């Protein structure tokens, strides 16, 4: 399986996350915790199979950033899963794809990068796109949708993911696969006390459908998809990765329409194009820089 095919497969897997999360009858923090535990255990097993030994010296040198980024990943998942609960998968995914825009906004302060007119244009375009996708009308089958709240959760998740992107730029000499395994393990450890205090981690009433979905989320969407992603990006150019990454949000919208019957108005489609176009341009600018 070549690098491009592995990356496309990973993006298609990521695109179906929302459908499975909506099928799990647990709190967002419990889902995030179990995803981290199952995913990290799977990847640890894979590292033994491919004989990739961790460098404890490099881990120790980067432990503070790994701990902070691991915590950010865990709480990022919680907020994203909350977004799925309150709005459509399309809205949640598009608001989550604001992460590169937040990187542009934060980069001048964190990375000392210049905020050019083109980058400001990307921010304005994405903001306009966000305004267009917000749909305060429409409801879920059980009437539980609150689109504005759901999109706010998605944007909050995007802020945390942007912080992970920025923190990873300061992690030195640690391979991407190894970094991810450690971050997933630390995410689980950080989330454990939070889940114990908030939800008491009572899985006694979990249904068989929820159990199957959480196993798929942990093994397929985290373990296998992350393995495919990090082994493929070593073989591909940055622009190829940027282009193929958009299979994730596009497939998420299509899968949500086919499986859950979600639909988007013309206004929301235009908003999605503005957001994804802005993030694509920002990634192209980063690749050239």
* pLDDT exceeds 60 at position 161: yes
Q: Which residue has the higher pLDDT, 63 or 235?
A: 63
**What is the per-residue pLDDT across 66-83, written as a single tens digit (0 to 9) for each?**
999 999 999 999 999 999
Specify the higher pLDDT residue, 37 or 286: 37
User: 3-class secondary structure for the chain?
Assistant: CCHHHHHHHHHHHHHCHHHHHCCCCCCHHHHHHHHHHHHHHHHHHHHHHCCCCCCHHHHHHCHHHHHHHHHHHHHHHHHHHHHHHHCCHHHHHHHHCCHHHHHHHHHHHHCCCCCCHHHHHHHHHHHHHHHHHCCCCCCCCCCCCCHHHHHHHHHHHHHHHHHHHHHHCCCCCCCHHHHHHHHHHHHHHHHHHHHHHHCCCCCCCCCHHHHHHHHHHHHHHHHHHHHHHHHHCCCCCHHHHHHHCCHHHHHHHHHHHHHHCCCCCHHHHHHHHHHHHHHHHHHHHHHHC
* 94: its two tokens: 């598009």
Whether 136 has a pLDDT exceeding 70, the answer reads no
Write out pLDDT tens, residues 8-33. Answer: 999 999 999 999 999 999 999 999 99
What's the token pair of residue 86? Answer: 């309150």
137 falls in which pLDDT band (50, 70, 90)? low
The pLDDT value given to residue 285? 64
Domain span at residue 15 reads 3-288
Share of the chain above pLDDT 90, in %: 44
Q: What is the pLDDT of residue 32?
A: 95
pLDDT value of position 139 = 53
Check whether 123 has a pLDDT greater than 70. Answer: yes
Instruction: Quote the number of domains for the chain.
Output: 1
Report the mean per-residue pLDDT for the chain.
Answer: 87
């Amino acid at each position: 399986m070549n690098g491009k095919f592995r990356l496309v497969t990973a993006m298609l897997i990521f695109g179906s996350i929302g459908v499975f999360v909506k099928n799990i009858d647990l709190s967002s923090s419990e889902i995030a915790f179990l995803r981290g535990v199952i995913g990290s255990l799977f990847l640890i097993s894979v590292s033994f199979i491919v004989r990739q030994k961790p460098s404890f010296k490099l881990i120790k040198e980067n432990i503070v950033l790994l701990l902070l980024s691991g915590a950010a990943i865990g709480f990022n998942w919680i907020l994203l899963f909350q977004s799925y609960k309150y709005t459509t998968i399309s809205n949640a995914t598009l608001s989550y794809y604001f992460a590169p825009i937040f990187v542009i906004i934060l980069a001048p302060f964190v990375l000392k990068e210049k905020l050019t007119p083109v980058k400001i244009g990307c921010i304005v375009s994405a903001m306009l796109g966000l305004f267009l996708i917000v749909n305060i009308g429409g409801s879920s089958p059980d009437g539980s949708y609150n689109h504005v709240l759901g999109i706010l959760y998605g944007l909050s998740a995007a802020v945390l993911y942007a912080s992970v992107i920025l923190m990873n730029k300061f992690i030195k000499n640690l391979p991407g696969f190894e970094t991810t395994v450690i971050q997933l393990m630390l995410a689980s450890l950080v989330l454990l006390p939070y889940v114990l205090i908030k939800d008491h981690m009572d899985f006694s009433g979990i249904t068989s459908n929820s159990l199957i979905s959480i196993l798929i989320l942990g093994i397929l969407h985290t373990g296998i998809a992350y393995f495919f992603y990090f082994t493929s990006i070593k073989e591909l150019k940055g622009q190829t990765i940027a282009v193929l990454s958009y299979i994730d949000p596009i497939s998420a919208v299509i899968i949500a329409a086919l499986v859950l019957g979600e639909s988007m108005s013309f206004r929301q489609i235009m908003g999605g194009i503005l957001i994804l176009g802005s993030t694509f341009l920002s990634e192209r600018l980063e690749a050239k820089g």
